[in-house]
A and B are shown apart, each in its own frame.
Chain A
Amino acid sequence: AQSVSQHNHHVILSEAASLELGCNYSYGGTVNLFWYVQYPGQHLQLLLKYFSGDPLVKGIKGFEAEFIKSKFSFNLRKPSVQWSDTAEYFCAVNGYAGSYQLTFGKGTKLSVIP
């Protein structure tokens, strides 16, 4: 069975600080990895995805993530956060097992202080 672990429940940063959110997964086969963001009261939006190739992937709004296969990790990073990045961030994986359902981490709430 797939599982995803996000290390931080709530992160509080000042504007312009750097961000790194941890994500580790467990799955026996080939996985696809995603980071979704959920702004208050809104639906889940895709930030970035990794399927194969370059392990450093760039997403929208200046976010990037690095896939480290040996560590089963897919950490999200942003060099300089803005107040508008305040949201909840979810790491997710899927690997085909008859379905492409997503397995999500518990989420990390990011609060950016102006």
Chain B
Amino acid sequence: DSGVTQTPKHLITATGQRVTLRCSPRSGDLSVYWYQQSLDQGLQFLIQYYNGEERAKGNILERFSAQQFPDLHSELNLSSLELGDSALYFCADLRHDSNQPQHFGDGTRLSIL
């Protein structure tokens, strides 16, 4: 157990819908990173948050957005879902501005029917 908690573990929904994935990092001065793992694209960085602010953005679609709350948990919002959004979504935390390895959560498996 890495200490990074993601909910739900599995999510099944239909095209056109909107879902919210939640990540609770460990405590401390941490950045939260979101990654998407899909069969065709592999593991890709989506977005990073620190202190409630977006710090870096990767290959994140405009239909996707994220936020971080005062208690440091983060949510990834995916809207107008398409079949290709089916993937495993991981969050990871890292002590801010540290180059140490990131700690990953168990991921949320999103299936679009």
Contact = CB atoms under 8 A, between A and B. Distances in A.
Give the top 6 A-B pairs by smallest Cβ distance, nearest first: A99-B56, A104-B43, A101-B45, A44-B104, A106-B42, A43-B106
B87 to A, nearest CB: 14
Interface stretch (A18-26, A64-72, A74-82, A90-98): A90-98
Q: How large is the interface on B (under 10, 10 to 19, 20 to 34, 35 or more residues)?
A: 20 to 34
Contacts of B94: 100
B48 A101 contact: yes
A106 B44 CA distance: 9
Q: Tell me whether chain B's interface is mostly helix, strand or loop, or mixed.
A: strand
A81 to B, nearest CB: 23
Interface of A: 32, 34, 36, 42-46, 49, 51, 90, 92, 94, 96, 98-107
Contact of B99 (A94, A104, A105): A94
Interface of B: 2, 31, 33, 35, 42-45, 48, 55-56, 58, 90, 92, 94, 97-99, 101-102, 104-107
B90 A101 contact: no
A46 B101 contact: yes
Contacts of A46: 101
A51 B99 contact: yes
A100 B99 contact: yes
Residue with the greatest number of chain A CB neighbours at <10 A, chosen from B55, B97, B102 = B102
Given A32-B99, A100-B98, A101-B58, A107 B106 contact: no
Nearest to A90: B43
Contacts of A105: 42
Contacts of A101: 33, 45, 48, 56, 58
